[in-house]
Chain A
């Protein structure tokens, strides 16, 4: 043994132990894994979460100097200083906050007068700011030198070209709407229209132009027709490249001098630095989400191939959880060790998973699932892990992952860890769940799908579920069995809808998206709420606002840094204005006073947090991972006298607007009869709301209509076609669809052939007769055309009973009526009646495909021990059948023996040897039947050949129910047999092959066909009118003792050839006459599960194709996955 082999074995041993551990203690291990995930994700807490708002940090204005770009040089309160506070900001934002009002207000003023004249002053103010210059000893410093010079707008923003400054200072004001041209403003007949012309018509997703230019949220601006306070607010926003405290303080003091705000209480101590995260926009999220959806679909399609798990979605979810948490873990670990994680990891990871990662999960699942079902879950997981070794370890080590970055390696390691612990454990839980509950439903479904082959007896006895309650009346329809049937188009559409639940899902998804968009984009909705939350949580917001506005008249404490060397450019004119205002205030009655309250504190906070990023992005400047510094706003109060307001009034406005109604009289009136124009303008803000309401109403109506239609479409079908009224459909009309959707059972009306008390284990049919055998060895013969139970074993007809119980029970039952004998028997014996849960009348109707109506899947997996186990382990509701069965029957037998002993002479005692009925040869066979079960059946004419687990071969008469012959020369169980042309070939569990020939010793004459013959190929006289005197001898002609190394699983015969398929991966072709082995067909890499020979003479074998890394082949049927189809020419 080389070193690598030793190593390999040791590793596989370790995996085995690990799997055992995982399956033994699932809950602790999942908890442990969860703790590991949490621990590894802990460093992520330090990382900024994507999608959160900007963070703030405020420094006092006093002694402010831009932080040094070098991190190491920072001194002072490093603990409080955020790590992004390094280097100069992108820009300093200086806002000049203007509040203006017309005072005193005259009653005949129009509504537009509230904001027209205040807005007109912005041009003057902008001029003042633009022309401001600091003259001191070092020379003259103008605004141009300190302001942020912006270049071109992005080419996509051509329509904003006239509105936003280009090639100059970043100076934004409402005057930009009119290109900072007073004449344009005066000539503008409709200010509000101008302002709102660039508002997005649809839902708002980012900062609007109005917000940008006004510098404060639209509803605070007061520029609308219903401004009761008659105070108009706007800001002039100035972007500064460098911080020049002297220049700024000179600007501040000058503006304050020109436009004093006597009662202003705005605090001016702090500079707020706002740091913006890298923004993950929808545009970036959509591809990411798409990749994850593709990933999920990939996982889904992969897990769909895997059967025998309880819930594929659950496993897919577990796989995704594995993937995501391994991503998080790797990011966390990288962070812990000082590697700066980038978002790239999150984007790369799905691809990583798609290329490599998920294969591990699939390999794991496959290898676990492919272990035999009957093993205990622990052992299955352990074995699976052992098998998994080659997959996971090789993929992890050999693949070219080392060339990926360290992140990928860490991610893979954590992924591996999670798969080892988390996913394996989840898988074990899943499989355990399935073993307990789901096998019942699952196995019939599988068994319906593979065509019922009476001869293919395989090693599937291994998969025999340990505890499957007998549910003879439940029949699960396999979709594919209806694939060949047709369906009206209408129904197909409906099924498509029903299958995908398309409507519901679409509506649901649409609603969710819609609500999400609404919530996100609603100006007064979540976004602003979040913003305010962020604001409140920021340190500055908590720093506290002044509790109450200081009463007017109290001048704020002068800024100590006010530079007194202020040289106003034209102070005289302005001071005249000032005095005029004051005069006007005193002269006229209704005065207005501009108040500055705490709500005006840092008005920029009320803006969307994407305000600044979107502003800068217009100039192709990104704020992601950078910060801006917002300087305290300069308050400016403007009072305008009525004359001024009247002068700037546009001539058209007088006609279009009502006089602004004074609050005392006009409130009601204004609301009662709003003007058309004004309502239109007013409605602009609410138009979104109306749209939303209308949309909601419309979608609600559509929803109701849709539901109504669906109801109308579905319900008649359900009600009308329920029950048996449609059961006599023509065969070709059975509904189906091509897409594998199994229509509701009411559509098919599966008819239940009741009679068997245990699970059906094998089935044979020649098109006319249908022979079924249940676990206890009871054989029933049904008419495939009418569904009648022709021969129930008990009656002196068939004598194929493993336990005398059934033999007896059926025999006396059958006497009253050939058809309903079983039910009658239940009527007679109340204990027995309980065995069939609903004592409904027999549903024997002529259904063509009876194979799908009977549990056929046990035909290939029966084991004696298991059947006993099953008997023991039948669930509580089946207890009577399982446990007290024989005693009950015994009682019943005693009760009825007196009544029926007369005509049933040969009744066997419940536990004793069955009495021979027809012929003497029956004796031995029946005696042996008690402990052996039927593993294989074949039918030809009226002869039934049954192979038993104890190696006995029996020939029964299908019509009369008599044992014609038996042969117990072999000891090994017969796994498959073929009955063809008086020849019987039996394949045994030990791999040997026995050839028998049937010979009639009496005057066996020409055997005539019974009715229409179904099988074209059957050349044997199949419906012999045997009398009981005819003696059939079953003679062993040849024995191929070692035909295969392993049990023979599949057997087919045609045209003088016999093909066997075995678990040893090979097929052999024998000649029927002399049992000479003609060919050995190799090429399959797994056990053969099915063989098919077509009549032309070429053979085909089907075998589940496994991943090459997996030695064990699941003994599943074709439902397993892709079939390898080889065609051999013989």
Chain B
């Protein structure tokens, strides 16, 4: 039985099967009322007469069954409701590439008598269009077309050999997303004729891989950008075809359920940007397999469900040899909840921009400002975080705050201002690998900085002071609790009543265990004790 598709274009651009089927039709991609499907079966389905096509819909809920009908299995589907039987005339097999271009850009078959443009009316007013005929004329110069979009135009293949090369050889960028291409061979047939092709978008086409034979992968000598989002392509297939992309710079593989199964050894070496978003099956170990792509500068890993990472070849505070050129890393919408993740990112040699929103670590009740600061402090070479540049003042503030925030922990772990005695334990160093470097940069945190703010209660404002009388040897040293806001005058008054000495004869000074040998005079009666930095445990010296 000969299969004959006549390119019979009706006004809706549908192609009808003209003859009875053969197995040629199995595996073809088709479209029915906007829904795409793959033909899995063609033949008779008793007891109903006539030819039926069995299709597996892209949308698993669109169908009625899984390919079996009344007990007989006609074809298999991946989902129980992904299959349907459809009459052949209801199915659109698509058009070839050139026909699609002509449909979109040139009204070739339209009768020429209508000079006036179609007027659309909105709200009683006609919509005036400017220059639409010139647009049409311009775009109709197929040979001049450079950037072409044929998204959702039911393209099923290249058409006759060599026609594309004759008609529009200068195409540099083409969007063939959401069409009816069913195999890599078809893509190669089209692309082989476009010698200047730089950008190719094949998203949302379900392409079957070339069989195991290595040759028919085709070469795309100028291709720089390849978009394969939502195509169901596997990593192995990508690598197999990648030998045909010698200068590829950007590769988009979003939402393909990819599992990175092998290391790309001779291929993908020129890739600068790799988008692996929404591939939930990727885990951190798989990432090691792409860690040695020499030119990889931008890696997009949004929404892959990653929660941890560890570079085994680098110890605390060292740089890893993995991802040597990586400058910009996108980790939005993941499951990162540990600060250790950020510590690991500091090991990347070239990282200077990070986007990391909508992770458990950054969401929740935590103060967003503090989280941002801690990320900045933990990753030393970061220059942009969440698309917001990190100014030098911001970095300085963030690092100082981080150093202060963990100062007490550092001390408890064995840290000390004296470099001789400074030996924080391994656990602390693992949790805060940059801490020592920050101490070197800004100095170790002072104890004064580390004092936690006491709540503003009166009892917290009281200073416990010893009172000594250096000139009277018989008087006992007493202890008194005084508020630090108490003025020197009032202290003298208190002491005067205590010692039965007139106020005017009293001379006050104090000494502190922190400053042995030094005595500070409290000469201004009107100033409070805190003006002179009198602290808890100091000793007032009273003379008269």
To the question of whether A and B form a pair in one complex, the answer is no
> Could you tell me which B residues sit within 8 Å of A by CB distance?
none
